[in-house]
């Protein structure tokens, strides 16, 4: 049995707009998904002890067609299963072993569907572990490419490379279309995460932005403006100018709210963090529920979030410079 892990992420800037070729800067954080893979004679057996969604446990056997009987929104359940099934397909292709069977165990301390890149981390770790189990060693960039293909399949062609590249490479990265690169010299940004205990439906949220962008010119302009925010942020990334970074995070959240992907709980957490002195705060990920990220080097935002109605958890998140790795 081989075990690999990969980190989750927060978006400093650029979610949603990155789907349309605008740049984005996600940063890996020290919360990880761990996947163990053991080759078996045939079929696919997947056990997930902890996907951090109100006790959600996925356990099913066979070819992935069976559905576990759990009290979880169907789109999230379908996605969770689809990511692993597609990851195994990529492994079989990479190893030229179309009939390879696997027993896969997943443990994650990244909330599922909350905007912290849980699916990307699971997919990246699963591809790395299962290919190693078959005697094939992929580079992190090769893992990232195959993980991106998984997300494209599950998200009906509406995925970007940002989440999977960040999880595979670690640290801060910049993604613009197919151009993916690591960003050096960023340092340990003082991230604080607030989590409302919920999860957004990524597919529906991405589709909603796509529909809005196609119908209204101002929505397309809003998406382009997010790209402009990212470019402004790049100019100060890696400096100590947290004030400007925070201001740009605030702008980014406002633009995402205009696209309809925020929520009452996310807005409440964003404003609680700002009112407590955070230099900036925004939703992270697809939105609709889940997490916000604040920039604060004091205890103010962390304390305020813990007392904010609707905030289930709040914690600091260190930048994780390691990407996918064997455990």
| Residues with catalytic roles | 163
**Structural contact between residues 18 and 140, judged by C-beta atoms closer than 8 angstroms:** no
Please state whether beta strands 101-108 and 44-50 pair in parallel, antiparallel, or not at all (unpaired). Answer: parallel
Token pair of 160, please? 């970007």
Give the span between the Cα atoms of 287 and 284, in whole angstroms.
7
Please state whether beta strands 280-283 and 291-295 pair in parallel, antiparallel, or not at all (unpaired). Answer: antiparallel
Give the span between the Cα atoms of 255 and 229, in whole angstroms.
10
DSSP 197-241: S----HHHHHHHHHHHHHH-HHHHHHHHHHHHHHHHHHHHTTSS-
Give the span between the Cα atoms of 25 and 246, in whole angstroms.
14
Whose tokens are 């079929």? That residue is: 43
Beta bridge partners of 6: 33
Token pair of 120, please? 């990307």
Token pair of 282, please? 């925004």
Q: How far apart, in Å, are the Cα atoms of 287 and each of 64, 232, 252? A: 28, 23, 13
Q: How far apart, in Å, are the Cα atoms of 326 and each of 50, 107, 140, 159? A: 19, 14, 11, 26
Q: Which helix (H) or strand (E) holds 80?
A: helix 74-94
Q: Which helix (H) or strand (E) holds 264?
A: helix 264-275
């Amino acid at each position: 049995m081989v075990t690999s892990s990969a980190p989750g992420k927060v978006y400093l800037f650029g979610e949603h707009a990155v789907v349309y070729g605008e740049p984005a800067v996600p940063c890996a954080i020290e919360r990880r998904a761990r996947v163990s893979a053991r080759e078996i004679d045939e079929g696919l057996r997947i056990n997930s002890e902890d996907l951090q969604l109100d006790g959600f446990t996925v356990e099913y056997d066979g070819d992935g067609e069976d559905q576990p009987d759990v009290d979880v929104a169907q789109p999230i359940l379908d996605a969770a299963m689809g990511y692993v099934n597609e990851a195994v397909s990529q492994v079989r292709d990479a190893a030229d072993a179309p009939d390879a069977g696997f027993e896969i165990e997943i443990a994650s301390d990244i909330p599922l569907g909350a905007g912290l890149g849980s699916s990307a981390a699971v997919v990246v770790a699963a591809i790395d572990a299962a290919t190693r189990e078959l005697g094939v060693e992929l580079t992190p960039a090769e893992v990232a490419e195959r993980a991106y293909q998984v997300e494209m399949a599950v998200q009906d062609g509406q995925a970007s490379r940002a989440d999977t590249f960040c999880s595979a490479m670690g640290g801060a990265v910049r993604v613009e279309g197919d151009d993916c690169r690591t960003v050096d010299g960023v340092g340990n940004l003082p991230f604080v995460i607030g989590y409302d205990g919920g999860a957004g439906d990524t597919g529906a949220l991405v589709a909603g932005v796509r529909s809005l962008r196609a119908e209204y010119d101002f929505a397309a302009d809003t998406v382009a403006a997010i790209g402009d925010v990212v470019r402004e942020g790049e100019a100060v990334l890696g400096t100590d100018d947290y004030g400007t970074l925070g201001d740009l995070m605030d702008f980014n959240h406002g633009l995402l709210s205009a696209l309809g992907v925020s929520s009452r709980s996310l807005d409440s957490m964003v404003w609680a963090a700002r009112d407590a002195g955070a230099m900036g705060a925004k939703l992270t990920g697809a939105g609709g529920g889940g997490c916000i990220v604040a920039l604060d080097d004091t205890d103010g935002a962390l304390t305020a979030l813990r007392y904010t109605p609707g905030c289930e958890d709040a914690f600091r998140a260190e930048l994780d410079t390691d990407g996918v790795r064997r455990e």
